[in-house]
Structure 1
Amino acid sequence: MPISRAPLTTTHPHGYVLVRADRKLGLLRISKNASTESKVRLDCRDWIAFDQFDGPSVAFLRDPYGRFLSSIPETMLRVTHFQIEDPSRKDRVTAPEDVYRELCAIAKLPIEQFAQAFFELVRYSFFDAHHEPQVSFLADRRGTLRLDPYLYRTSAFDQALDQIEARFGVKAVPVAQQSNKGGAKPLAGRSKPIDMARKLSGTGVYKRVEHGGPLMVRHGGGTDGPTTIREINVWCNQFTAELKRAALPASLRAGIEELYADDVALWQRIEAVGGDVPASTIWDAANAPAKGAAA
């Protein structure tokens, strides 16, 4: 597939699959590819290293352009400071100092300009797994598959679950109420009693953290500082809505598809065959997706 790839990010457990308790199936989670929903629906719970799991595995692929745009607010949500660990927030992405400073510097730009500047920053360095190339989750640095999961499309998620059930003899967990329906970040507990308990105890979305990050710079008064998870989620929802309304230039799409050329080739190939195939059957063919589509 790719001749080489950039070093792996440190914001994802690369080299591990998330495995069901019965060990009938492992899930290779690829960030921003329905990774949380697929984990829940396939009932995968335990992280096991690639070379320690000998069962079958699956992975979901996504259109690279849509995935990149979805990664922007997710990264903004989690990159709230740089380098050092912040014990007040365990889901935070630690970014290099220069990347963090630049994110804060561009935070107030008009959304179209911000999207372009964010892309330029990602082109400088893949600093978060949410925008890391999909092929990096699958391959070593020379482009050789480290694992050979069956591949499915996030755009046909329900069909994929049916195919997985039929092929591997597992039963998907029924749909539950979504806590972040439509991609929106939660602003309260899942029920009134839970919400009240968390509000009184300062936990969950009411937990106070040391840094609001670039979202706080953009929406919360212009400077970074202490805030709550709830406020960060409010700002993230505002930012996401703004990004969805933006008229982004065709040149940005072209740049994204060039940067993620290996992902584009793999996506075109999985689209052509419809999914439910081992990665190895389309890996090399993805270098020539047009020919593969005609196969």
Structure 2
Amino acid sequence: MATNVDADTLTSEVLQSFSTTPDERLKQILGSLTAHLHAFVQDIAPSIQEWEQAIDFLTRTGKTCTDVRQEFILLSDVLGVSMLVETINGQETPEATDSTVLGPFHMVESPARELGDDVSPESEGPRCVVSGRIISIDGTPIPDAKIDIWQADTKGFYDVQQPGIQSVGNGRALLRSDPEGRFHFRSVVPMYYPIPTDGPVGELLRATDRHPYRPAHIHFLVTAPGYRELTTHIFIGGSDYIDSDAVFAVKGSLVKDFTENPDPEDAARHGIPSPFRHGRFDIVLHPEF
């Protein structure tokens, strides 16, 4: 290997070092990463101090990760990378419900609950019912699909953000669709909220004069044998920040009106105070390739 090289020669030598990588996909990824990363560095020509700051930022991002917080996912989210990955993969299954980001709070196992249960029993505030069906792209209902749900409360907090205030599992549920593919559950209408800003990602947002808010939503992760896994949201129509999500995850097809239902008999049937709000969300899965 040469001892005195210019920038372009150095890039070529690094690329050559990966030429015997046995795994062709890994070889492709490392080659592309090297080429783009070296081009980026040449483009911005960072000072040594700036390079050290970048290393420090990434180091602190890793150190901020815990069992209930994933700062690297948060960084990927605010840079739009998470949504880009979802969008690229979603192009393979255009007939299915739109996918969106997993987010940083899918960090604990959701408790198994029955259809119709209250998934936020410790939360106070306006109540809602969410219902829908899990179906295939041809409209066939999918029974016994596993539906993992997690959401913030009416103050914009997830359970893992408030130890001692919320029990782990509040705002979460693991449901199974019925023989007709149907599901329904009770909850509180979630609030818009800021993503965590007490770490490196928060520093990035403040440095770039960006707000940290996400519009109100409920997360869904749906799986069923023979179908591709789907990670998606239902966004509450009319929520603040619906047009400026900090993680770029809003898709128009996922915005649903939570209409007010004033019928006391409907409320009693659901075991919920009247009036309540109702959101409808049918989820379409794509068969595995």
Query: What TM-score do the two structures reach when normalised by structure 1?
Result: 0.24
Higher share of residues assigned helix: 1
- Structure number, greater radius of gyration: 2
- TM-score of the pair, normalised by structure 2: 0.25
Higher strand share: 2
